[in-house]
Chains A and B, each alone.
Chain A
Amino acid sequence: MASQENAKNPVVQKLREWDAQAVAEVIEFRGETTVVVPKEHLKRAAEYLLSEPSLRFTFLSDITTVDRYPLEPRFELNYQLLSMDRKERLRLRVKLGGKDPAITTVTSVWPTANWHERENFDLFGIRFDGHPNLTRIVMPDEWEGNPLRKDYPVEGYR
């Protein structure tokens, strides 16, 4: 994975100027930029990216988790942002440890995050603090375990 600390991406520079603490790492791969954000800065960074007039990341496409089990920090949350005005995409990434993974919700920033966060809660067991209705979405309510985790058994009887 190509990692460059001095990325030329203007969005990354803006973010750095705004708060250098909010950018832990920048990954450039196949023309896509991923900014790794410490988890306590995520909501602030989201609000900044949405409201800053020169950025305007108004559209949240997706929230996806990658489970790096058995590595730690185990979970990587990827927030796919899109600026429709400027035709630009950006990916925010937050890393969460395997023990009681939790993060602040971004539903107040992008209302569409509601179902995406429920899906990640359901399939990966990540808690989104402050979410208005954090329940399972595709699996039955009484289901045990989180099917998309890498340590979830894929064979045999349950």
Chain B
Amino acid sequence: MTVTIDTPIGAAQTMVLNMGPQHPSTHGVLRVILDMDGEIVVKAQPVIGYLHTGIEKSCESKTYSQVITLTDRIDYLCPLSNNLGYCLAVEKLLGLEVPKRAQYVRVLLTELTRVASHLVWLGTHAIDLGAMSVFLYCFREREEIMKIFEFVSGQRMMTSYFRIGGLALEPPTGWLDKVKRVIDAMPHHVDEYETLLTKNRIWMARTKGIGMLSKEDAIAMGVSGPLLRASGVPYDVRKAFPYSSYEEFDFDIQTSDGCDCYARYVVRVAEIRESLKIIRQAMQKVPAEGPIRTEAQGIVPPAREEMKTSIEGLIYHFKIFTEGFAPPPGEVYQAIESPRGELGVFVASDGSNKPYRVKFRTPSFVNLQSLPNLCEGRLIADVVACIGTTDIVLGEVDR
């Protein structure tokens, strides 16, 4: 990719430094072209597209249900959030109401995803700044959450567990005990990370006052998620536009006025604790029995029993898995709060069995745009902290 940089000649002599796309601290294949004046970054220019796989184009040649497996692959740290965003968008298009039990299970699992995703962020951000042990601790706990996903959906990462109209499978017996064991241990682990980092002088020196993003800039740049909340804007899609019964849960929006990397660390750690709170409430709410899928003939596959015993069930089963279903023509935009911010799914239907256009408004893509605001005028070593703090997933940036 050719990039032109206007280098001022005379007063300041600048050097162009190419960072990435193969660089351990860029969390994937991000390339940043830095215009350096000595150690100071004069201009930062993110270059993306190295991981572009054309997911949106692929969606147009798949039936509505088949797209779900593609959504996993957009952001591989929170596949369940992507599943949820897409399923909710199609359910909105169809006008489907999902049974309460499925909604609570969805909330529980997406919050677990948020915890897992924040743990990966914390671990990798800490290792970028030289704190090796935090990385090992975080991945240890994340592994336990991955085991829950595997137990429930059969897959550690590419879960595809949420389906249009509900869930893919009945959650296995005893899954809530496993969840309980993990989240009972979590607060202690989070304390452990905090003892290592929160009052750590090196950590504070590396993150306090670094990567400043003012409230006005954050909104103007379209930044969302923890990045926005760390700039003092109490905006959370779960509160502003509740979906999947979030209005029934008691939790707070975590904000900070710090506007720097440290504030983002504080907000994300507090969000892990809030998520644990939501998971505990969800465990109370999930009924032991009840439907996991809504009943909608020709849209949601019939129960296994019905498929095996009734002719209509078999016909619908066959039709759904061969030709899919056709929602009414129209467009919907459904946003959810993914671990990284507002994940918006825009689905346009032309009345056929394949989506006419699917657009994922991914938070990483928009948040990354604010990187020059964060690191221009700062030292080159801070660029690493700034990239880490935006919590980007390149799969999601490039799609």
Contact = CB atoms under 8 A, between A and B. Distances in A.
A94 B93 CA distance: 22
Majority secondary structure, B binding face: mixed
B346 A148 contact: no
B60 to A, nearest CB: 8
For chain B, give the interface size range.
35 or more
A138 B330 contact: no
Contacts, number: 93
Contacts of B346: 62, 64, 78, 80
Contact of B359 (A30, A58, A64, A136): A64
A62 B369 CA distance: 13
A32 interface: yes
Interface in A96-142: 110-112, 114-116, 123, 136-141
B288 to A, nearest CB: 33
A89 interface: yes
Nearest to A91: B333
Contacts of A116: 366
B155 to A, nearest CB: 28
A17 to B, nearest CB: 26
Given A87-B240, A138-B49, A30 B361 contact: no
B126 to A, nearest CB: 28
Interface in A70-93: 78, 80, 84, 87, 89, 91
A8 B139 CA distance: 52
A148 B344 CA distance: 18
B74 to A, nearest CB: 13
A57 to B, nearest CB: 11
Given A84-B240, A87-B241, A111-B221, A148 B1 contact: no
B176 interface: no
B222 A60 contact: yes
A112 B361 contact: no
B186 interface: no
Nearest to B350: A68
A83 to B, nearest CB: 10
Interface in B24-54: 48-49, 52, 54
A34 B222 contact: no
A141 B4 CA distance: 12
Given A61-B222, A148-B57, A141 B93 contact: no
A58 B1 contact: no
For B2, B241, B330, which residue has the most chain A Cβ atoms within 10 angstroms? Answer: B330
B331 A58 contact: no
A78 B369 CA distance: 20
Contacts of A115: 365-366, 369
A67 B61 CA distance: 15
A154 B57 contact: yes
A64 B357 CA distance: 10
Contacts of B361: 61-62, 64, 80
Contacts of A30: 92-93, 95, 330, 332
Interface of B: 1-2, 48-49, 52, 54, 56-57, 61, 92-93, 95, 219-223, 233, 235, 240-241, 329-333, 335, 342, 344, 346, 348, 356-357, 359, 361, 365-366, 369, 398-399
28 contacts: A29-B330, A60-B222, A61-B333, A61-B335, A61-B342, A61-B344, A61-B361, A62-B333, A62-B344, A62-B359, A62-B361, A64-B359, A66-B348, A66-B357, A78-B333, A80-B333, A80-B344, A80-B346, A84-B219, A87-B240, A112-B222, A112-B366, A114-B369, A137-B49, A138-B49, A139-B49, A141-B1, A154-B61
Interface of A: 1, 29-30, 32, 34, 58-62, 64, 66-67, 78, 80, 84, 87, 89, 91, 110-112, 114-116, 123, 136-141, 147-148, 154
Given A112-B366, A137-B48, A138-B398, 8 more contacts: A59-B222, A62-B333, A80-B344, A111-B221, A112-B221, A116-B366, A139-B52, A141-B1
